[in-house]
Amino acid sequence: MARLFDITKAINSNGAISMLSRFGPIIIILISMASVQGSSSLAKHLFPILGPSGMASWRLVFSSIMLLLIFKPWRKPVIKQAWKYIILYGLALGFMNLTYYCAIKRIPIGIAVAIELTGPIVVAMFAARKMIDFIWLAIAIIGLVMLLPIHNASRDLDLVGVILALCAGSCWAMYIVFGRKAGQLQGASSVALGSVMVSFIIFPIGVWQSGEVMFSLDVLPLALLVALLASAIPYALDMIAMPKVPALTFSTLMSLSPVLGALSGLIFLDETLSSYQWLSISLIIISSIGTVLSISHKPKITSLDSN
């Protein structure tokens, strides 16, 4: 009887280990995504003090310091051909952060994330070859149009906020294209170099708009926490999980970011969305997942890089 108990215990233990090995990386990715979206809620909470530009400035500065420590770009000379793409990548990164924060000041986080997601979808469409690819794009466009404040159901959305979210999505698209090229020429150190470079551009904007409060000791720890939640923690978790899950699984999970963004806004900021807005977001998510599934069957992707 004791022997049977030991065998049963061993089977249950092995089963639990197998389940953890299978679903553990997925849980880690979801935690990483939740960390990013949670950082948006915290950042928005600080907007009355720092403003979007001040918050974007400190996020870029603290993230740059972390990236410098991680990638140590000084160990590898920068080749001349890489500078153009590093600069373009850095500008895309910086203004993606700035326009996104300006967007979520005006519209709910979940909606802003969904609109921003159209940037990578459009980039992916450059690899489109089949009719199904254009169907996914059409679904995304329908979802986006539904969110525009030209209908009674979306009239409460701020048009400037929607446009800013579209700008953030455009910057995300350029971030993918230029980041891929910079990475091919210079490697991972281009991430740190681009981030540091654009910090010198965005930070004066933040100081100009926010003034002395930018350097308040009451604010700096919270700004650092935003950078940790938005950059350092997700980077670390993704590095643990990504080698253990297929790229298709990772990309599909990333497509669910608007849902986590909406939940983060609901929990921490009391941002509620209508059924119509949830439907619009769902169409964009479906388009993103469909695009990922479609691209996974192509032999080569010329313009899309994982973000």
In a domain, 20, yes or no: no
* Stretch 46-67: mean pLDDT: 94
Instruction: Assign 235 a pLDDT band (cuts: 50, 70, 90).
Output: confident
**Full domain range(s) for residue 257:** 47-295
Q: Is residue 41 included in any domain, yes or no?
A: no
Which pLDDT score, from 0 to 100, does residue 5 have? 46
CA distance 243 to 128: 27
Q: Is there a domain that residue 64 lies in?
A: yes
Residue 26 lies in a domain: no
15 assigned to some structural domain = no
Query: Is 165 within a domain?
Result: yes
- The total domain count for the chain is 1
pLDDT tens track for 27-51: 898 999 999 999 999 999 999 999 9
Give yes or no for residue 76 having a pLDDT over 70.
yes
Report CA Rg, the chain: 21
pLDDT on residue 153: 63
As a dihedral over the C-alpha atoms of residue 218, residue 223, residue 228, residue 229, rounded to 10 degrees, the angle is: 110
Which residues lie closer than 8 Å to 19 by C-beta, 6 or more apart? none
The most confident of the ranges 6-15, 102-111, 134-143 is 102-111
Instruction: For residue 223, give both structure tokens.
Output: 């700004």
Give the per-residue pLDDT at 142. 93
Confidence of residue 297 (pLDDT cuts 50, 70, 90): low
- Classify residue 86: in a domain, yes or no: yes
pLDDT digit string (tens) for 174-183? 998 999 899 8
At residue 303, the pLDDT reads: 37
Per the domain annotation, does 11 fall within a domain? no
